[in-house]
């Protein structure tokens, strides 16, 4: 069949699906169900995704218009690569996904972080289970090596792979305390090394953030990740003649990388960071939340000297970018207010419910210009279920082998 006819068929099918999901009794249940079952197969085609995005009223949820921010950057942001420092803000992924995957049809990014048993605070895993990149994201917006994990970068990677590296920096003392409370996070250590760390500083040892911060291999996380190393340094990465230096040998190269990153923000300035991102690169703004602040007295005077110097450089560049791309910070106040309108409206109102999958009781599919994504298959493990055929019915409910599974796929899981 000619490509033009395929595109026309896709357009007709998607338009009917959107109409059926938005209008009560707008078509027969059999027709709507058939179209919804075809949706997941069709969306694997780039042409089909293009038709879907063009066919929906993609810049509004119900009657609420979503403000667009014009891009100020000279070059469009492409090949995004996330430098994700541990405990610096996993939910920054919402900003990346909103930009790369939700510019033409809004996504409900307030997904539950309960992704799979044993990973119940894994917002990134849960978001990608709802909105996988291959289905929802624009071609070329993410790097081919895009990952939500804590993977390092190098200047050579940026040049050879044409990456646009983005990320948030967090005050080292706050990041260290948060990592301590996250089961002594030590990405990069071997199993035996982590066991020793746990024995020394965990519940059976000193059980203190100060012990954790001072432990060989922990300090200097951002210095290492900016220069190709893991967050925590394994003893195997040091020569027999050298002791742990807290990242000092990497400091000069790390500071150069701070200047070369395409975008950087600060966890402590979350709203301003999201605002700056969109002022630089355009798109609509989604609301985000900031982690709690910790009492730094827990570190008993310890200072991560290398990462503090890097954070100071990152903060300096962040404020330079703000002056260049934002200027009047009242602009950011306006954008944040626009972004939070959907969550500030009382539940059940026309504005709020049209932009909130939980309020309208949908678990999947498209309704009134809002995408609730696909059924999150990883949740099957919570009920001990093996591989199953997941489908989205006409009312936006997830079915397992054709049968409903109460609450398992609810938005507020």
Kindly write down the DSSP assignment for every residue of 110-168, as one continuous string. Answer: ---S--BTTBTT-HHHHHHHHS-HHHHSPTTTB-TT--SS-----HHHHHHHT-EEEEE
131-135 CB contacts, 8 Å cutoff, 24+ apart: 131/97, 131/101, 131/102, 131/107, 131/371, 131/373, 131/374, 132/374, 133/100, 133/101, 134/44, 135/40, 135/43, 135/44, 135/49, 135/374
Whether residue 289 contacts residue 273, with contact meaning beta carbons closer than 8 Å, is answered with no
Question: What is the spatial distance between Cα 238 and Cα 110, in angstroms, rounded to a whole number?
Answer: 42
Report the residue count for the chain.
413
Kindly report, residue by residue over 237-267, the tens digit of the pLDDT.
887 668 999 999 999 999 999 999 999 999 9
Q: What's the distance, Cα to Cα, between the start and end of the chain in Å?
A: 43
The residues, ordered by sequence, that sit 6+ positions from 210 with a Cβ below 8 Å of its Cβ are 298, 299, 300, 301, 302
The pLDDT tens digits for 285-311 are 665 433 567 899 999 999 999 999 999
- pTM (2 decimals)? 0.80
Distances (CA, A) of 188 to 119, 140, 194, 243, 261: 19, 30, 9, 17, 23
Helix H segments across 250-360?
Answer: 251-260, 270-281, 305-325, 330-344, 350-354
Local mean pLDDT, 10-residue blocks, the chain (413 residues)? 37 35 32 29 35 38 53 76 96 92 86 92 95 94 96 94 96 96 95 96 93 97 98 88 90 97 94 88 61 83 97 97 87 70 48 69 89 94 88 95 92 87
Task: Read off the tokens for 294.
Answer: 């910790």
The first and second tokens of residue 192, run together, are 């035996």
178: helix, coil or strand?
Answer: helix
Q: Report the C-alpha gap between 356 and 347 in whole angstroms.
A: 9
The 8-class DSSP code of residue 292 comes to P
- Please give the distance of CA 29 from its chain centroid, rounded to a whole number: 35
Phi, psi at 184, each rounded to 5°: 55, 55
């Amino acid at each position: 069949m000619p490509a033009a006819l395929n595109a026309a068929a896709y357009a007709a099918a998607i338009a009917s699906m959107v109409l059926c999901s938005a209008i009560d009794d707008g078509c027969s249940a059999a027709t709507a169900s058939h179209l919804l079952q075809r949706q997941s197969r069709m969306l694997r085609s780039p042409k089909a995704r293009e038709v879907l995005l063009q066919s929906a009223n993609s810049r509004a949820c119900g009657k609420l218009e979503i403000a667009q921010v014009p891009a100020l950057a000279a070059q469009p942001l492409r090949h995004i690569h996330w430098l994700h420092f541990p405990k610096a803000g996993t939910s920054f992924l919402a900003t990346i996904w909103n930009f790369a995957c939700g510019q033409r049809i809004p996504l409900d990014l307030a997904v539950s972080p309960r992704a799979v048993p044993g990973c119940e605070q894994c917002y990134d895993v849960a978001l990608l289970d709802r909105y996988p990149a291959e289905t929802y994201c624009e071609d070329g917006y993410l790097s081919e090596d895009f990952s939500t994990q804590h993977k390092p970068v190098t200047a050579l990677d940026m040049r050879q792979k044409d990456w646009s590296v983005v990320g948030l920096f967090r005050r080292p003392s706050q990041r260290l305390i948060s990592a301590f409370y996250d089961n002594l996070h030590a990405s990069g250590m071997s199993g035996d090394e982590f066991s020793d760390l746990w024995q020394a500083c965990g519940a059976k040892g000193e059980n203190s953030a100060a012990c954790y911060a001072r432990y060989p291999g922990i300090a200097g996380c951002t210095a290492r990740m900016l220069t190709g190393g893991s967050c925590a340094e394994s003893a195997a990465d040091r020569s027999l003649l050298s002791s742990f230096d807290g990242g000092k040998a990497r400091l000069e190269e790390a500071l150069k990388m701070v200047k070369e990153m395409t975008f950087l923000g600060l966890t402590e300035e979350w709203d301003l960071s999201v605002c700056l991102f969109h002022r630089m690169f355009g798109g609509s703004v989604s609301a985000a939340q900031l982690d709690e602040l910790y009492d730094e007295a827990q570190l008993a005077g310890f200072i991560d000297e290398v990462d503090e110097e890097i954070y100071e450089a990152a903060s300096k560049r962040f404020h330079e970018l703000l002056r260049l791309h934002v200027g009047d910070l009242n602009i950011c106040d306006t954008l944040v207010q626009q972004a939070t309108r959907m969550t500030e409206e009382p539940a059940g109102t026309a504005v709020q419910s049209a932009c909130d999958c939980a309020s309208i009781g949908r678990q999947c599919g498209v309704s009134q210009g809002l995408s609730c994504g696909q059924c999150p298959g990883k949740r099957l493990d919570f009920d001990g279920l093996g591989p199953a055929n997941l489908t989205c019915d006409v009312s936006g409910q997830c079915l397992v082998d054709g049968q409903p599974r109460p609450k398992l796929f609810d938005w507020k899981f």
